[in-house]
């Protein structure tokens, strides 16, 4: 009678699907990114090669990405894979940059025409091919794992017709290449076969020459390939987003997620026309609103600065009083006249002078009354002017306080707003 035994296999932790690649954009982080982009004083001029233009292109729907955007997406996946292997479906995969396939494709004719080395080491492969074989390239987060020994699967981009990118999943054990194309109708199968031929031929040749012992016989023929039909792969309904699809194909497959969910990814990124228009409109409105706010601050800033550097009503009054004091004639007392200096012969003359003085005094009194009335009228006018000036000054201060509160309430002030605020504070303080 046979004996049956049970082997207890410990539960293995589930691998893959470590995060949701369909998660929406964090609006707070997006706002911080937009404010950072606007720190570049020339961001409106869209200077080619600047960091602000790089992110502006990435954020703008229907704007064609460049190779550096695609490599940045691959580098992000490599970083996550390096730090969290459990997030991905396997720990024997690697991801290549755009240089890998372009380098091999460009050197394929030279490889075919070159003779084999007499020492039996084979033909010359493209310069740098060995660095990819040992995973020293890409240099970002390099793992130094060797193909076929520690790496079984390779994700790589493939450039076709000089204007379109597709994703390749290369399986070394199966000696097979799977191609995910976001625009299947754009190229015929024959064109795809011609484009993938350098990789399908040179890669197994390199593995044959570098593999030890009997493993060399596994790579004596070209790798086979297939392009997945459009019914099984989400398609790009608009031109220009093939790089986005390439990154998402690789991300979903490496995480162990089915492609049919990618429809959600594309809708939340750049594929849906309505969503694109809404996002584009929202971004444009945000930037336009920012520009209008900056212009408003500059306009109000001019008015506030005028009020800050213009003398106040109180200082003007002091200056006016000083001018009036300067205009007052200095009156000095006449020389004292003693009774001894008056002779009897002068009595008649003095009597006549007294009468003249009396008349002059009466005229002076009337003039003094007139001057007093004029002074009272001037004081009333000056009080009215002071009251009006105080109201204007209060309005200026109220406007300044409103501008100050407006600037301080912005959680992420742009550079023009901060400069304006500092300038207002310095001018107001100096006055």
Mean pLDDT by 10 residues, the chain (431 residues): 54 79 84 85 80 85 86 94 94 93 92 84 86 90 90 96 94 96 93 95 94 90 95 83 91 89 50 44 58 54 47 43 46 42 46 53 52 60 65 61 55 48 54 50
Residues 134 and 250 grouped into a single domain: yes
Question: In this predicted structure, what is the pLDDT of residue 21?
Answer: 87
Residues 229 and 375 grouped into a single domain: no
Chain centroid to Cα 136, Å, comes to 32
Residues 93 and 162 grouped into a single domain: yes
Q: Is residue 350 part of a domain?
A: no
Q: Is residue 326 part of a domain?
A: no
Question: In this predicted structure, what is the pLDDT of residue 373?
Answer: 58
Residues 209 and 293 grouped into a single domain: no
How many separate domains does the chain show?
A: 2
Residues 226 and 160 grouped into a single domain: yes
Cα–Cα separations (whole angstroms), residue 391 to 350, 395, 398, 425: 59, 6, 10, 21
Question: In this predicted structure, what is the pLDDT of residue 281?
Answer: 55
Chain centroid to Cα 163, Å, comes to 27
> Residue 166's domain spans which residues?
27-271
| φ and ψ of 88, to 5 deg | -105, 160
Q: Is residue 339 part of a domain?
A: no
Question: In this predicted structure, what is the pLDDT of residue 291?
Answer: 56
CA dihedral (58, 61, 67, 71) positive or negative: positive
For the chain, the C-alpha Rg in angstroms (whole number) is: 44
Cα–Cα distance for residue pair 164/158, rounded to 1 Å: 8
Q: Is residue 404 part of a domain?
A: yes
Which position has the token pair 């060399």? 216
DSSP β-ladder status, 93-95 and 224-227: unpaired
Residues 187 and 280 grouped into a single domain: no
Residues 168 and 297 grouped into a single domain: no
Q: Is residue 60 part of a domain?
A: yes
Residues 301 and 202 grouped into a single domain: no
Domain end among 271, 306, 329: 271
Question: In this predicted structure, what is the pLDDT of residue 165?
Answer: 94
Rounded to 5°, angle at Cα 11 from 7 and 17: 145
Q: What is the CATH number of the domain that holds 232?
A: 3.40.395.10
End-to-end CA distance of the chain: 107
Domain end among 271, 290, 306: 271
Q: Is residue 234 part of a domain?
A: yes
Question: In this predicted structure, what is the pLDDT of residue 92?
Answer: 94
Residues 307 and 430 grouped into a single domain: yes
Domain end among 248, 271, 294: 271
Residues 57 and 185 grouped into a single domain: yes
Residues 195 and 281 grouped into a single domain: no
Q: Full-prediction pTM beyond 0.95?
A: no
Any idea what DSSP says for residue 138?
S
Residues 368 and 248 grouped into a single domain: no
């Amino acid at each position: 009678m046979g004996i049956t035994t049970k082997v207890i296999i410990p539960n293995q932790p589930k691998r893959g699907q470590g995060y949701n690649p369909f998660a929406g954009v964090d609006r707070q982080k997006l706002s911080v990114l937009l404010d950072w982009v606007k720190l570049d004083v020339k961001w409106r001029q869209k200077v080619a090669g600047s960091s602000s233009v790089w992110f502006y292109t990435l954020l703008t729907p229907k704007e064609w990405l460049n190779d550096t955007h695609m490599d940045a997406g691959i580098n992000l996946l490599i970083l996550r894979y390096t730090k969290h292997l459990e997030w991905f479906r396997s720990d024997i995969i690697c991801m290549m940059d755009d240089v890998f396939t372009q380098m091999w494709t460009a050197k394929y004719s030279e490889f075919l025409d070159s003779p084999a080395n007499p020492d039996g080491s084979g033909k010359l492969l493209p310069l740098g091919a060995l660095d990819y074989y040992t995973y020293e390239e890409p240099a970002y987060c390099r793992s130094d794992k060797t193909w076929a020994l520690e790496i079984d699967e390779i994700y790589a981009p493939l450039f076709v017709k000089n204007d379109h990118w597709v994703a390749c999943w290369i399986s070394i054990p199966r000696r097979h290449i799977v191609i995910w194309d976001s625009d299947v109708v754009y190229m015929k199968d024959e064109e795809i076969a011609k484009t993938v031929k350098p990789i399908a031929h040179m890669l197994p040749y390199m593995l044959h020459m570098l593999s030890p012992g009997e493993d060399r016989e596994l790579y004596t023929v070209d790798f086979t390939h297939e392009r997945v039909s459009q019914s099984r792969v989400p398609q790009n309904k608009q031109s220009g987003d093939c790089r986005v699809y390439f990154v998402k194909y690789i991300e979903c497959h490496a995480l162990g997620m089915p492609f049919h969910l990618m429809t959600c990814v594309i809708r939340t990124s750049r594929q849906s026309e309505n969503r694109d228009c809404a996002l584009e409109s929202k971004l444009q409105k945000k930037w336009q609103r920012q520009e209008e706010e900056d212009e408003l601050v500059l306009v109000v800033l001019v008015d506030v600065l005028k009020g800050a550097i213009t003398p106040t009503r109180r200082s003007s009054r002091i200056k006016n009083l000083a001018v009036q004091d300067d205009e007052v004639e200095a009156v000095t007392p006449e020389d004292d006249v003693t009774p001894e200096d008056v002779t009897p012969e002068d009595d008649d003359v003095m009597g006549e002078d007294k009468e003249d003085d009396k008349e002059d005094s009466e005229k002076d009194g009337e003039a003094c009354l007139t001057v007093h009335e004029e002074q009272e009228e001037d004081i009333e006018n000056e009080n009215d002017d002071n009251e009006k000036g105080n109201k204007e000054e209060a309005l200026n201060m109220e406007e300044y306080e409103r501008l100050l509160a407006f600037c301080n309430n912005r959680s992420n002030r742009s550079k023009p707003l901060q400069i304006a605020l500092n300038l207002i504070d310095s001018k107001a303080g100096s006055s």
